[in-house]
Amino acid sequence: MIPLDGKNYAEWYLDIVEKAGLSDKRYPIKGMNVWTPYGWKIMRSIDGFIRDELDDTGHDEVCFPLLIPETEFKKEKDHIKGFDSEVYWVTKAGDNELDVPLVVRPTSETAMYPMFSLWIRSHQDLPLKIYQIVNTFRYETKQTRPFIRVREIHFFESHTCHDTEEDAQRQIDEDLSILEKVMDRLCLPYFLLKRTDWDKFPGAHYTVGIDTVMPNYRTLQLGSVHHYRTNFSVPYDITYEDESGEHKHVHQTTYGMSERLLGAVISVHGDDKGLVMPPDIAPYQVVIIPIISKKNAEEVKLEAEKIALILRESGVRTHLDNRDDRPGSKFYDWEIKGVPLRLELGARDIENEVITFARRDNGEKGTISSDSLVSGVRLILAEIKKDMRSKAEAFQASSVLPIGSLDDVPERVVTFPWCGSVECGGESRGEGHQDPGHTVSCGEA
């Protein structure tokens, strides 16, 4: 493992992604990587929490087609202008040139809204709240990086339609409360920054970006919430009949976050030894390493199996590492993969009716009494979760400096008052985001 010393974050990141088995970037298309089993498990676990929250708030899951006819794609002119340079085009099928070229979804507004126009008739059909978890495609010309800047992007997108602007605004409040629950699972702090007019999503009335601070003191945009007002419902003709029989355009919002959530989990929590997984999304929350000598091999193995069974039955995701290898080498492997809690079991532990533990996040060691195994493990996992978020919050707080003018900008994220003009805004030093954005976000004072 390359140690993380603050300056070498980029190399450290690539090293950890490879060593932990999260993704393979040797696929023969730049920026389109293979989700290998460990990485995909984590992503699916994140997806699961998002799905739970969206289901609980009355969103219905759907799946729209990947391909969008050019004719539909071009209906909202700001939107197409924003995406024109970064979409993939299907122009041929079999041996035929297609009459209407098809866009590979860069986001699904233009796929969904022609259907919304058919689905919504009356105020009783509102609010309409749907979401999908799919991959999306952007022809990224900058340097790519796994999970952070890729050309095939795993993400969720929710789309809602409302009778009034106020109801749409309530939806955005709900989105932000969902966000807090998801970020709590990931132990990630974040900023909410309303984007400038030139930085908002193409077609949006306004955009709130969700950003977090990376070890190199730059922000990473994880997702965003958009209020569209009627900017799309007018060109796509999405109307409802209100109680008095009048036809009105719906107000719309969208909300999306991508696999950058995983990129942030890796970067914010990782250390010199590898990943540090938040307990809620760790594929294994506990790994058990039997410490075996020739004399006691059978006894220790049996006891380790018993413990694994008890933990699994109580719902703790547990792996028993029975490989024929040195304990030190196993410690090393599971530290790279970031398993939150390691349990070690040797003859002396069995004699003393305890099990030895080591926390991945802070290295703390101790013992749990055998007769309170499950509650002891649960307690430590809860503490790990709390401490991981606190540590990340402390880093984020330390990384933000209030400054007086652009001359004082240091090498970290800053917040400063801004008059709101394009000219002044253009002076800020920006790093592009995959979702159009800038690193130096003006926390609109």
Rounded Cα distance, 143 and 122, in Å: 47
Q: Which of 8, 36, 164, 367 binds a second copy (CB under 8 A)?
A: 36
245 binds a second copy (CB under 8 A): no
Per the document, the length of the chain is 445
Q: Of 136, 323, 299, which is closest to residue 223 (Cα–Cα)?
A: 136
Contacts (Cβ under 8 Å, ≥6 apart) of 201: 82, 195, 207, 224, 226, 254, 435, 436
Interface segment toward a second copy; rule CB under 8 A; list 86-94, 164-172, 225-233, 382-390? 86-94
Q: Which of 65, 363, 426, 432 binds a second copy (CB under 8 A)?
A: 65
Q: Which of 40, 156, 217, 255 binds a second copy (CB under 8 A)?
A: 40
Q: Which is nearer to a second copy, 138 or 389 (CB)?
A: 138
CB 204 within 8 A of CB 228: yes
Encoded tokens for 290:
């039997």
Encoded tokens for 245:
């029989």
CB of 166 to a second copy, least distance (A): 26
CB 186 within 8 A of CB 278: yes
Contacts (Cβ under 8 Å, ≥6 apart) of 419: none
34 binds a second copy (CB under 8 A): yes
Q: Which is nearer to a second copy, 116 or 334 (CB)?
A: 116
114 binds a second copy (CB under 8 A): yes
Q: Which of 24, 47, 78, 184 binds a second copy (CB under 8 A)?
A: 24
329 binds a second copy (CB under 8 A): no
191 binds a second copy (CB under 8 A): no
Q: Which of residues 253-292 bind a second copy (CB under 8 A)?
A: none
Q: Which is nearer to a second copy, 50 or 268 (CB)?
A: 50
115 binds a second copy (CB under 8 A): yes
CB of 364 to a second copy, least distance (A): 32
CB of 88 to a second copy, least distance (A): 5
Q: Which of 71, 352, 372, 375 binds a second copy (CB under 8 A)?
A: 71
Contacts (Cβ under 8 Å, ≥6 apart) of 176: 192, 208, 225
3-class SS of residue 164: coil
56 binds a second copy (CB under 8 A): no
CB of 29 to a second copy, least distance (A): 6
Rounded Cα distance, 347 and 120, in Å: 68
99 binds a second copy (CB under 8 A): no
Q: Which is nearer to a second copy, 109 or 361 (CB)?
A: 109
102 binds a second copy (CB under 8 A): yes
- The alpha carbon of residue 348 and the mean position of all alpha carbons in its chain are separated, in whole angstroms, by 42
Interface segment toward a second copy; rule CB under 8 A; list 29-37, 191-199, 212-220, 342-350? 29-37
Phi and psi at residue 240, in whole multiples of 5°? -135, 160
Q: What one-letter code names the amino acid at 430?
A: G
- DSSP, residue by residue, 189-226: --EEEEPPTTTS-TT-SEEEEEEEE-TTS-EEEEEEEE
Rounded Cα distance, 256 and 210, in Å: 10
- The alpha carbon of residue 264 and the mean position of all alpha carbons in its chain are separated, in whole angstroms, by 7
Q: How many CA atoms lie within 13 A of 325 on its CB side?
A: 11
Q: Which of 1, 104, 310, 347 binds a second copy (CB under 8 A)?
A: 104
How far apart, in Å, do the first and last CA atoms of the chain sit? 42
Q: Which is nearer to a second copy, 102 or 266 (CB)?
A: 102
Rounded Cα distance, 338 and 325, in Å: 19
CB of 101 to a second copy, least distance (A): 8
Site map (CB under 8 A) of a second copy, residues 126-165, x = contact: ----x----x-x-x-x----------x-x-----------
Q: Which residues bind a second copy (CB under 8 A)?
A: 24, 26-29, 32-37, 40-41, 44, 60-67, 69, 71-72, 84-96, 101-102, 104, 111, 114-115, 118, 130, 135, 137, 139, 141, 152, 154
